Amino acid sequence: MPWRPVNPASVQGEVYVLHFDRPFGHARHYIGWGRNAKDRIAAHRAGRGSRLMSVIREAGIGFRVAAIMPGTRELERRLKNRGGGARSCPICHEESCSSMQ
């Protein structure tokens, strides 16, 4: 079998969007990727797996899982480049819709 380089950006996993209960500085979301999003999110709840998520936990800020979608690190990067979590976050969309009524 010919050797083929594995492109890490093409590994299928899950991209997730976490919505913080209150803003931390300018951050209100965390977008991440993992082979198994639920495992990654469980680690984040324990303050592991990401510098930002450990800081969030130390600050006593909770978070909700706004979205989990199948995808690659490439999708994670696209969502981050697209203007951060708010545009990918159903919780923010609901809040901005209900505040317009």
Which residues of this protein are in contact with Zn ion, per CB under 5 A?
A: 19, 89, 91-92
User: Based on CB atoms, which residue is closest to Zn ion, 75 or 89?
Assistant: 89
- Cβ-based neighbours of 47, under 8 Å, separated by 6 or more: 53, 54, 57, 58
User: Based on CB atoms, which residue is closest to Zn ion, 22 or 35?
Assistant: 22
- Number of other CB atoms surrounding residue 75 within 10 Å: 18
| Residue closest to Zn ion, measured at CB | 89
Q: How far is the CB of 68 from Zn ion (least distance, A)?
A: 14
Decide: residue 80, CB within 10 A, 0-12 exposed, 13-18 middle, 19+ buried: middle
Q: How far is the CB of 6 from Zn ion (least distance, A)?
A: 33
